[in-house]
A and B are shown apart, each in its own frame.
Chain A
Amino acid sequence: MSNKKRYSIEQKQAKWGLLFTVPCVLFFAVFCFYPIISAFVTSLTDAKILSKTREFVGLKNYIYLFTKENGGFSLYNSIRATFVFTLGTFIPMVIVSLIISVLLMQLRKPSHRGFFQIAFYMPAVLSSVVAAAIWMILFDPRGLFNQFSNFIMFTSGKDFGWLVNTKMLQASTMIVYFWKYIGYFVILFITGLASIPSSLYEAAIVDGSTKWHTFWRITLPLLKPTVLLVSVMAMLQCLKTFSTQYMFHQGGAGRQPIDVITMNIYFTGIRNGRIARASAMSIILFVIMLLLTLLQFKVSNSDDVEY
């Protein structure tokens, strides 16, 4: 084959490769990169939803958000609400799903394991709005979950105020989220556990190691990268929560305790028409998540285990 012909084949290849990727590249340029730049630019102006003109105001929106109340729903409160929700949800979720998946691996029959996995995953199949709707009824003072709370706390007829009390309201949103996503995280851990070679466990049994010992000395250290990765993933997902809080608020719960950043962006930008201010909040959310994603990359690259 002559050199010239080879060259043209490569060129043809390059042309087709580019042709196949161009639609997606255009899409991401228009619907991801442009909007984030646009959000940043808008955050430096005084844009409102109904006014056509906008003026450059520098960092005024950011200063406003960090120093003023924003009509009773301050950015500080939103950051607090978001972080309380995130920490209160992802830490129990990671720990409990880890425990569940380790226990699932103890089951002798794979079919039993499959059954539990599917049953635990069921809530994730429902949409978040449906999940919130179910739990809103369960959390009613006369609802099933309040009755259950009375049952375990040995009280009778006590109203725990799941949807009224500031602290309880925050806890309720956490419970809904935990309920919905627990099965999802169990499956992530099962995948990680399944990749640990069984020869290691067999060696441990031969050496006379107890199950407890095996867990702390073999399973957990080898699972560390998965645990870290799942934690950061869960954390990022919790930071973006919206549906549960929105649904609870529309159903009558107070906004202040559960006013997560995404909800504040929605209310400030769309309901109140303060686009510039909402854009500034979006950029702040973006920066928070960017830092955490970078952390995720660092974590997932540094600790890879070789078997």
Chain B
Amino acid sequence: MNKFIGKISVTEVIVWTFLSLVLLFTILPIAFMVCASFMDAKQILAMPFTWIPSKEYFTTTDRTFATNFIKAILGNNEDSIFFRTLLNSLIVAISVSITTIFLASLCGYGLAKFKFKGKNVIFMSIMATMMIPFEAIMIPLYMVTSSLNMINSYRGLIVPFLVSAFGVFQMRQYLLTFPSEFIDASRVDGMGEFKIYANIVLPNCTPVMATLGILSFRNQWDNLLWPLLVSQRETMKTIPLYITKFSEEKQTDQGAMMAIALLASIPMFILFGFLSKYFLGGATVFDSRKG
């Protein structure tokens, strides 16, 4: 049975030790990114590594706290496209989140609360698209996009991700539990169907909307493959492309590299800080298969 050291059991000690080790493993690389973004390459690759940027390093005239960040923003040729790529990423990620929430809730509502011919066929075919990995259809999608003249445009970046099958599924599952009495009552009151959707249904699914919105935002913020195909012009590049390009061209400037990484992560950290419960919720919704 349990052995005790003082008031703490041995199992508890083991549990805390193990969890703390995992904690170090997950957190230290992030801490490294933050610390290294203030250092120069020499310090980042010093043996042994010191976590705190040394003092004498900042007293030299050509380096300040901001040096790496300035390099990161100015990029290679001093023609700063950093803010442009940041803006592009934001535009794409926000647009995709909004359209996903709107279209998925509309479709999920239709599938959950209406009776019509072919409903099951529609639902099953939408679910079937989850089996088609994006990576397998990117070449034909690229051909379609290029024939529609959408290469190097926001439309090209956004349109293939307007809505996700997973989002439709999630919305449907959530709305199945939504009481039909509210909807029927509004109908009796003479409300139009679209108005019922906009005024009664939507305001009542904010948690699932938030989860879905964050999931879509993060997926787009993280998306490298599709922009790699369609954003060929500098001004249409997104943050992941900017990072990739910088790492190709300035392999030895690790400090600036980490500064970019940190800058690119700030929006996600802010989102996570405020809405962490929806992030964690996004991971678990898939388990609603029983609903």
Could you list which residues of chain A lie within 8 angstroms of chain B, going by C-beta atoms? 10, 13-21, 23-25, 27-28, 30-36, 38-39, 42, 99-100, 103-104, 106-107, 116-130, 133-138, 140, 142-144, 147, 157, 179, 182-184, 187-188, 191-192, 210-211, 226, 233, 236, 239-240, 242-243, 246-247, 250-252, 261-262, 265-266, 269-270, 275, 278-279, 282-283, 285-286, 289-290, 293, 300, 304
Please pick, from B48, B116, B168, B289, the residue contacting A24 in the complex, using a CB distance under 8 A.
B168
Could you list which residues of chain B lie within 8 angstroms of chain A, going by C-beta atoms? 1, 11-12, 15, 18-19, 22-23, 25-27, 29-30, 32-33, 36, 44-49, 103-104, 106-107, 109-111, 113-119, 122, 125-126, 129-144, 159-160, 162-163, 165, 168, 193, 197, 218, 221-222, 224-225, 228-229, 239-240, 243-244, 247-248, 251, 254, 257-258, 260-261, 264-265, 268-269, 272, 276, 279-280, 283-284, 286-287, 289-290
- The reply to whether A121 and B122 contact each other, CB–CB distance below 8 Å, is no
Please pick, from A13, A20, A252, the residue contacting B107 in the complex, using a CB distance under 8 A.
A20
How many residue pairs bridge A and B at CB < 8 Å? 284
Contacts of A211 in B (CB 8 A): 11
- The reply to whether A104 and B19 contact each other, CB–CB distance below 8 Å, is yes
Tell me, in angstroms, the Cα distance from A121 to B22 when the chains sit together.
11
Contacts of B276 in A (CB 8 A): 118, 121
- The reply to whether B239 and A122 contact each other, CB–CB distance below 8 Å, is no
With A20-B107, A24-B163 already in contact, 16 other A-B pairs whose C-beta atoms are closer than 8 Å: A14-B114, A17-B110, A18-B116, A24-B104, A27-B103, A31-B160, A32-B165, A35-B144, A36-B132, A122-B26, A129-B243, A137-B254, A143-B44, A187-B283, A266-B229, A289-B133
- The reply to whether A14 and B116 contact each other, CB–CB distance below 8 Å, is yes
Task: Give min CB distance, B267 to chain A, whole Å.
Answer: 10
A129 with B244, Cβ < 8 A, contacts A122-B26, A179-B25, A179-B26 known: yes
Contacts of B261 in A (CB 8 A): 126, 130, 133-134
- The reply to whether B137 and A28 contact each other, CB–CB distance below 8 Å, is no
Tell me, in angstroms, the Cα distance from A126 to B240 when the chains sit together.
11
Tell me, in angstroms, the Cα distance from A250 to B249 when the chains sit together.
9
Task: Give min CB distance, A36 to chain B, whole Å.
Answer: 5
- The reply to whether B286 and A103 contact each other, CB–CB distance below 8 Å, is no
Task: Give min CB distance, A271 to chain B, whole Å.
Answer: 10
Contacts of A157 in B (CB 8 A): 47
Please pick, from A36, A42, A137, the residue contacting B257 in the complex, using a CB distance under 8 A.
A137
Please pick, from A38, A103, A122, A134, the residue contacting B27 in the complex, using a CB distance under 8 A.
A122
Tell me, in angstroms, the Cα distance from A15 to B32 when the chains sit together.
57
A286 with B22, Cβ < 8 A, contacts A14-B116, A25-B122, A179-B29 known: no
- The reply to whether B110 and A20 contact each other, CB–CB distance below 8 Å, is yes
Chain A contact residues, majority secondary structure: helix
A21 with B110, Cβ < 8 A, contacts A120-B22, A247-B244, A278-B139 known: yes
Task: Give min CB distance, A179 to chain B, whole Å.
Answer: 7
- The reply to whether B264 and A130 contact each other, CB–CB distance below 8 Å, is yes
- The reply to whether A289 and B15 contact each other, CB–CB distance below 8 Å, is no
Please pick, from B49, B159, B160, B265, the residue contacting A144 in the complex, using a CB distance under 8 A.
B49
- The reply to whether A286 and B133 contact each other, CB–CB distance below 8 Å, is yes
**Chain A to chain B contacts (Cβ below 8 Å), 9 pairs:** A18-B116, A34-B144, A103-B18, A126-B268, A127-B221, A182-B22, A247-B224, A261-B135, A266-B229
For A183, the closest partner residue in chain B by CB is: B26
Task: Give min CB distance, B242 to chain A, whole Å.
Answer: 9
A14, A21, A33, A247 — most chain B CB neighbours (10 Å) = A21
- The reply to whether B45 and A134 contact each other, CB–CB distance below 8 Å, is no
Tell me, in angstroms, the Cα distance from A18 to B115 when the chains sit together.
9
- The reply to whether A14 and B117 contact each other, CB–CB distance below 8 Å, is yes
Contacts of B265 in A (CB 8 A): 125-127, 130
Contacts of B251 in A (CB 8 A): 251-252
Contacts of B103 in A (CB 8 A): 23-24, 27
- The reply to whether B45 and A121 contact each other, CB–CB distance below 8 Å, is no
Task: Give min CB distance, B209 to chain A, whole Å.
Answer: 16
- The reply to whether B32 and A138 contact each other, CB–CB distance below 8 Å, is yes
- The reply to whether A269 and B117 contact each other, CB–CB distance below 8 Å, is no
Please pick, from A13, A121, A240, the residue contacting B133 in the complex, using a CB distance under 8 A.
A240
Task: Give min CB distance, A180 to chain B, whole Å.
Answer: 9
Task: Give min CB distance, B95 to chain A, whole Å.
Answer: 14
- The reply to whether B141 and A134 contact each other, CB–CB distance below 8 Å, is no
- The reply to whether B140 and A38 contact each other, CB–CB distance below 8 Å, is yes
Contacts of A144 in B (CB 8 A): 32, 49
A32, A99, A140, A236 — most chain B CB neighbours (10 Å) = A32
Please pick, from A27, A121, A133, the residue contacting B243 in the complex, using a CB distance under 8 A.
A133
For A275, the closest partner residue in chain B by CB is: B139
Task: Give min CB distance, B220 to chain A, whole Å.
Answer: 10
Task: Give min CB distance, B34 to chain A, whole Å.
Answer: 10
For B20, the closest partner residue in chain A by CB is: A116
Tell me, in angstroms, the Cα distance from A157 to B159 when the chains sit together.
51
Task: Give min CB distance, B82 to chain A, whole Å.
Answer: 14
Task: Give min CB distance, A66 to chain B, whole Å.
Answer: 18
Task: Give min CB distance, A139 to chain B, whole Å.
Answer: 11
Please pick, from B109, B162, B224, B254, the residue contacting A128 in the complex, using a CB distance under 8 A.
B224
